[in-house]
Amino acid sequence: MRATVLVRPKEGILDPQGDAVGNALGHLGFSVSSARVGRVVDLELDAADADDARTQVEEMCRQLLANALIESYEVEIVG
């Protein structure tokens, strides 16, 4: 199974990296009012089916891939 995890800074968390990217886009002439920088983790894993894969990957997020104090995550099972 392949899965993609999208980890984002939670809403309200100061993201200076995102701000810097937003400013840089502004310098290029783009009208960007907000930019937030997260992280993508692509996984290949052993799983019985998509549900099993989702359960496993969500556990991975809780235990390691995201820090719940500051980050939210979305799991996509690619198949």
Partner 1 sequence: MASPQPRIGVVTYPGSQDDRDALWALSALDAEAVPVWHEEAELPDLDAVVLPGGFSYGDYLRCGAIARFSPATAAVCAFAEEGGLVLGICNGFQILCEAGLLPGVLLRNESLRFICRDVALVVERDDLPFTSRLAAGTRITVPVKHGDGRWFAPPELLGEVEANRQVVLRYDEPCNGSVASVAGVCNERGNVMGLMPHPEHAVDPLLGSADGALILASLVDAARDRVLAVT
Asked if 13 interacts with partner 1 (CB under 8 A), we say yes
Q: Residue 1 in contact with residue 50, Cβ under 8 Å?
A: yes
Asked if 55 interacts with partner 1 (CB under 8 A), we say no
Amino acid letter, residue 34: S
Q: Tokens standing for 6?
A: 């999208």
Question: Contacting partner 1 (CB under 8 A), which of 27, 29, 34, 64?
Answer: 64
DSSP, res 42:
E
Q: Tokens standing for 20?
A: 């810097």
Question: Contacting partner 1 (CB under 8 A), which of 25, 42, 55, 67?
Answer: 67
Binding residues for partner 1, per CB under 8 A? 13-14, 16-17, 20, 64-65, 67, 69-70
